[in-house]
Amino acid sequence: MTSINKNGVLAGKVAVVTGASRGIGEAIAVRFAMEGARVVVSARTVEEADHFLPGTIKATVKKITDAGGEAIAIKSDLAVAEDRENLIAETRERFGPVDILVNNAAVTWFVPVNDFSEKRFRTMMDVQVWAPFELAQACLPSMLERGDGWILNISSHAAIHPEAQTPGGHGGTVYGMCKAALERFTTGLAQEVYGAGVGVNVISPGLVATPGVVHHKLINENNKDRVTPVEHMAEACLRLCYGDAKSLTGRIDYADQVIKEFSLEPADLI
């Protein structure tokens, strides 16, 4: 029976997961809680009326606490400087120093470059590049002082350079830019803190039928056979947040590769 293991591999760890009201972020938050982590569930959506897609941080927390786990909800719009600062500050006040930071939150518009507005561009960069950078800055001092910590950034196959001679793109250039920047930030930071007990990795999920993916109609007849369960991504993310940080860092990973490399059996989520 699927349940909370308070003596799991993340027992006693404090994990912050952004964008955790639904989809991949929710699954990561739940999976980490199942391994004993005390999870801070963060996103903009507190009540169902706050967003047109289903899912809230209150619902994610309830799912965890009803099963006997520990979690709190902290509302945070990562496009807002005060919210970014408050997220880590409030986490420290309520749970203590951050052991694991998962930068999953994203906001995306699929619009061709010719029609892309500055406001949308800056919002996407704030949420998907600057916020992970700033949140890492806020968490790093205590991680380095303790010689223990993990930062996991959630990327996408969109970060891979497309073939210019292949027509298409479907307005995903800015999204790809954000994810490519996130990956370079990950490897650079991993190098900077190498040997200090802090692991920094980035992982892409493959194609998962999250509410956002469905909304953007990213699943079609050509790729529907490649859709993978969200449990696979959650399990792969978990594996990149414990162990020897000196040997498990600076990785640009994909969920299916991690599942295969570590012979993981994705757990059912509570």
Structure confidence at residue 46 as a pLDDT band (50, 70, 90)? confident
Question: What is the domain-level CATH number for residue 18?
Answer: 3.40.50.720
What is the SS3 assignment for 189-251?
A: HHHHCCCCCEEEEEEECCECCCHHHHHCCCCCCCCHHHECCHHHHHHHHHHCCCCCCCCCCCC
pLDDT, residue 215, reads 43
pLDDT tens digits for 177-210?
999 999 999 999 999 999 999 999 999 997 665 5
What range does the domain containing 52 cover?
14-261
Provide the number of structural domains found in the chain.
Answer: 1
Q: Is the residue at 5 inside a domain? A: no
CA distance 147 to 112: 44
pLDDT reading at 224 higher than 60: no
Confidence (pLDDT) at 239: 98
In a domain, residue 81? The reply is: yes
Give the residue numbers marked as catalytic: 175
Is the distance from CB of 231 to CB of 266 less than 8 angstroms? Answer: yes
Helix (H) / strand (E) containing 31:
helix 23-34
Whether residue 13 has pLDDT greater than 50: yes
Q: What are phi and psi of 97, to 5 degrees?
A: -60, 150
Average pLDDT, the chain: 92
Per-residue pLDDT at 212: 54
pLDDT of residue 52 exceeding 70, the answer is no
Label residue 222 by pLDDT band (50, 70, 90): low
Q: Is 3 a domain residue? A: no
Q: Place 261 in a pLDDT band, splitting at 50, 70 and 90.
A: very high
Q: What is the mean pLDDT of residues 21-38?
A: 97
**Is residue 209 one of the residues assigned to a domain?**
yes
What's the mean pLDDT in 26-54? Answer: 88
The region of weakest confidence among 8-22, 42-56, 58-72 is 42-56
Has residue 6 been placed in a domain? Answer: no
Range of lowest pLDDT (138-147, 149-158, 218-227): 218-227
The token duo for 222 is: 């050509």
Distance CA 101, CA 143 (A): 10
Q: Is the pLDDT of residue 211 over 70?
A: no
Q: DSSP label at 128?
A: I
In a domain, 232, yes or no: yes
**Nearest residue to 160 (alpha-carbon basis) of 144, 142, 175, 143:** 175
Whether residue 90 is contained in a domain is answered as yes
pLDDT in tens, 67-88: 999 999 999 999 999 999 999 9
Q: What is the pLDDT of residue 2?
A: 73
Within a domain: 257: yes
